[in-house]
Amino acid sequence: MNERVVFYTLAFGRDEYHLQSQLLIISFLKYRSPGFIFRVYTDNPDFFELFREEIDIVHIDKAYLQECIGEHKGYVFSVKLNLIKRVYFEDEFNAFVFLDTDIIVLQSLDTFVLSLLSGKPAMYQRERKYAKESKKEYWNALRNIDVLGHAIHKESSQWNSGVVGLPKGLGNKMQDASIIMDNLYEYGVKQHTLEQVAISVVLENANRLTPSTDYFIHYYANKNAWEPLYCELDTLKKNSGNVNLMKEWFENVSVFPAAEVVKEGYFYRLFSKWKNSLKKRIIYRKK
């Protein structure tokens, strides 16, 4: 495969994001194919110095982050979408893949990349339909704001943006997503996934949007279970200073924690509903 593809993440702020990124990098290096480049955008380039021969390290500072947030009405999570646009328009690649720090690579990415090169965008997974959300906040907002001609219907869904894979030719869609994100914020939507929804809207309308759960694990919903793993890797780095040993360590991990906390059974949920209902009745009586 001769095409150049960039995989990149944004690691700034809390230490856990740098530690998670390190685990992501090692998993990527295990399955990297020729032409696949990894890049970390970070406020702490020294943390990743050991990997400098393997990856690109780009320093970003607080001024850049504040500028991004200021451009988007003060919405903090606009930084992700701003970076996606920046990478897309700054660099000449055949495909672009943004990854959250709490992601690992599961297997060879060749087939995943071939799908991108055929023109199909990708996100991590479909999560839920706006029309079936309990509060329908996004459903109501998307039907009232300017979505720049992108269709919103009962099957329209929010996708998880832990992975955002873009083929060439979709730069204008990310510009649209940026505007839709701002419109959602101005409309008064209080949730913290405006950028995720905006990206979902434009990519669902762009081409056949595909999930990528066969290739990645996104453990955002079970970080506590993964913390010992990425901390163990960091201890190995400090003790050995050897990237090859870190790769071997990853190859020897036989079982990964679950991506999400295991949900309890039906009777537990039924009991929880009864308990919450009882609490409400007690509070009402006290009033």
Helix (H, G, I), strand (E, B) or coil at 166: strand
Q: Do 247 and 51 touch, CB atoms closer than 8 A?
A: no
Helix (H, G, I), strand (E, B) or coil at 120: coil
Q: Do 131 and 143 touch, CB atoms closer than 8 A?
A: no
pLDDT for the residue 47 = 98
- The CATH code belonging to domain 5-218 is 3.90.550.10
pLDDT for the residue 261 = 82
Q: Residues of the chain with pLDDT > 70: what percent?
A: 91
Sheet strand arrangement including 95-99? 56-59, 36-42, 5-11, 95-99, 163-167, 122-123
pLDDT for the residue 287 = 45
pLDDT for the residue 207 = 79
Tokens describing residue 212: 């990528």
pLDDT for the residue 284 = 44
Condensed to tens digits (0 to 9), the pLDDT of residues 232-263 reads 999 999 999 999 999 999 999 999 999 988 66
**101 pLDDT more than 80:** yes
What's phi and psi for 66, nearest 5 deg? -65, -35
In this prediction the pTM is 0.90
**268 pLDDT more than 60:** no
Condensed to tens digits (0 to 9), the pLDDT of residues 4-23 reads 999 999 999 999 999 999 99
* pLDDT, averaged across the chain: 92
Helix (H, G, I), strand (E, B) or coil at 49: helix
**215 pLDDT more than 50:** yes
Residue 57 pLDDT level (bands cut at 50, 70, 90): very high
pLDDT for the residue 80 = 96
Cβ within 8 Å of residue 105, ≥6 positions away: 24, 27, 28, 30, 31, 215, 216
Cβ within 8 Å of residue 26, ≥6 positions away: 233, 246, 247, 249, 250
Least confident range from 121-135, 220-234, 258-272: namely 258-272
Cβ within 8 Å of residue 275, ≥6 positions away: none
Question: Can you tell me the mean pLDDT for 266-276?
Answer: 52
**Domain segments of the chain as ranges:** 5-218
Q: Distance (Å, rounded) from C-alpha 82 to C-alpha 247?
A: 31
Residue 264 pLDDT level (bands cut at 50, 70, 90): low
pLDDT for the residue 263 = 60
Q: What is the DSSP letter of 14?
A: S
Question: Can you tell me the mean pLDDT for 169-174?
Answer: 91
What's phi and psi for 232, nearest 5 deg? -60, -40
